Amino acid sequence: MGTDAASTRTIGALTAIAVAGALAALLAPAHATSTDRGRAAPERSATDTAARPAAAPPGGLTARAWILTDAETGRVLAAKEAHRQLAPASTLKTLFALTVLPKFPADMVRTVTAADLKGVGEGSSLVGIKKGRQYKVADLWRGVFLRSGNDAVHVLANMNGGWRATAQEMQLKARSLGAQDTVVKTPDGYDAPGQVSSASDLALFARKGLENADFARYCATVRAAFPGGSRGPYDIVNTNRMLSGTKGVPRYPGVIGVKNGFTSKAGNTLIAAAKRDGRTLVATVLGPSKKKNAVYKEAATLLNWGFNAN
């Protein structure tokens, strides 16, 4: 049950070496704006689609940017400013999971140190990781996906070679997937100067994540027992209200995840995937109005339109 410290240090060292060697070549395009990158995909309007559907996209959406895609093909069904660079909040944890999740077996155990929890941002969402306690990697990932726990992200990032090395590796991962709008500064999505992503990139991260069975299972989990507490394990419930059906939001029919987020800079953000009649659609909504549950209502509107009109 003890931590495999030597294995963790080896992985961290190899990660840092690989990242340092490749980052310089790939990072430069990340700082270009949507208008000066010179790439083929321009800003899309609400009526721009990869294959223009017969029905007009739904009206009344207040989000600063949104996109609806087919999870299997990547086809864009409709979008508004899909490449606009905005603060992503915890939806960036999808990229963190794509980068780090494959590296550590689910039953590997980590004894948490003070260094693991150093630097957790003020006001962060937490799952309740305690120094000196042992956690399985699977527990840590449930903390990430269900409670959006920045404390769990810090522990996993430390296992992966450290906070900065993990952010750099995430940047490389984004570029390798073809995501050009994302600039990573913090692996947990906590607001930081220069950190941005886009509805298009976040939809891509979700689509790629859903191809991984572990990612798909974690992001679809509604409730789990989490180790710790004075009386033993305690229940944690997924903060994605479309999945958990809590706080005035009904569970969306066919929902399978993926990740929600909130920061003062980003506002509410959400990537929501649902499956119906053999089709899986992904709706990404960034920064809608401040009305209660607007991010979930607008994602549901997009998914309803996609399933009914296409």
Q: What is the pLDDT of residues 160-211, one digit of tens each?
A: 999 999 999 999 999 999 999 999 999 999 999 999 999 999 999 999 999 9
pLDDT surpassing 70 at residue 5: no
Is 177 contained in some domain? yes
Indicate the average pLDDT of the chain: 87
Which letter, b or e, does each residue of 165-174 get, where b requires 16 or more Cβ atoms within 10 Å of its Cβ? bbbbbbbbbb
Is 150 contained in some domain? yes
Is 263 contained in some domain? yes
In the chain, DSSP finds a helix count (H) and a strand count (E) of 9, 9
With cut-offs at 50, 70 and 90, classify the pLDDT of residue 4. very low
Is 34 contained in some domain? no
Query: In sequence order, which residues have a C-beta less than 8 Å from that of residue 190 and are 6 or more positions away?
Result: 121, 124, 150, 263
Q: Are 84 and 200 in contact (CB under 8 A)?
A: no
Q: Are strands 255-263 and 267-276 parallel, antiparallel or unpaired?
A: antiparallel
Give CA separation, 166 vs 150, 206, 306, in Å. Answer: 14, 19, 35
Q: Are 99 and 166 in contact (CB under 8 A)?
A: yes
The continuous run of DSSP H or E covering 175 comes out as helix 163-176
pLDDT surpassing 80 at residue 10: no
What is the number of structural domains in the chain? 1
Give CA separation, 27 vs 120, 171, 175, 268, in Å. Answer: 25, 7, 8, 27
Is 230 contained in some domain? yes
With cut-offs at 50, 70 and 90, classify the pLDDT of residue 55. low
Give CA separation, 36 vs 26, 30, 39, in Å. Answer: 16, 11, 8
| 164/201 Cα distance (integer angstroms) | 21
Q: Report the pLDDT averaged over residues 275-286.
A: 97
| Residues 117-128 pLDDT 10s | 999 999 999 999
Write the CATH number for 173. 3.40.710.10
Q: Are 226 and 152 in contact (CB under 8 A)?
A: no
| Residues 113-157 pLDDT 10s | 999 999 999 999 999 999 999 999 999 999 999 999 999 999 999
Is 37 contained in some domain? no
Catalytic annotation, residues = 90, 93, 148
Please name which of 41, 50, 40, 83 lies closest in space to residue 64, comparing C-alpha atoms: 83
CA 273 from centroid of its chain's CA atoms: 12
Is 236 contained in some domain? yes
Domain that holds residue 16: 5-25+45-309
Q: For the chain, how far is it from start to end, CA to CA, in angstroms? A: 51
Which of 12-16, 57-61, 283-287 has the lowest average pLDDT? 12-16
Is 160 contained in some domain? yes
Q: Phi and psi at residue 190, in whole multiples of 5°? A: -60, 140
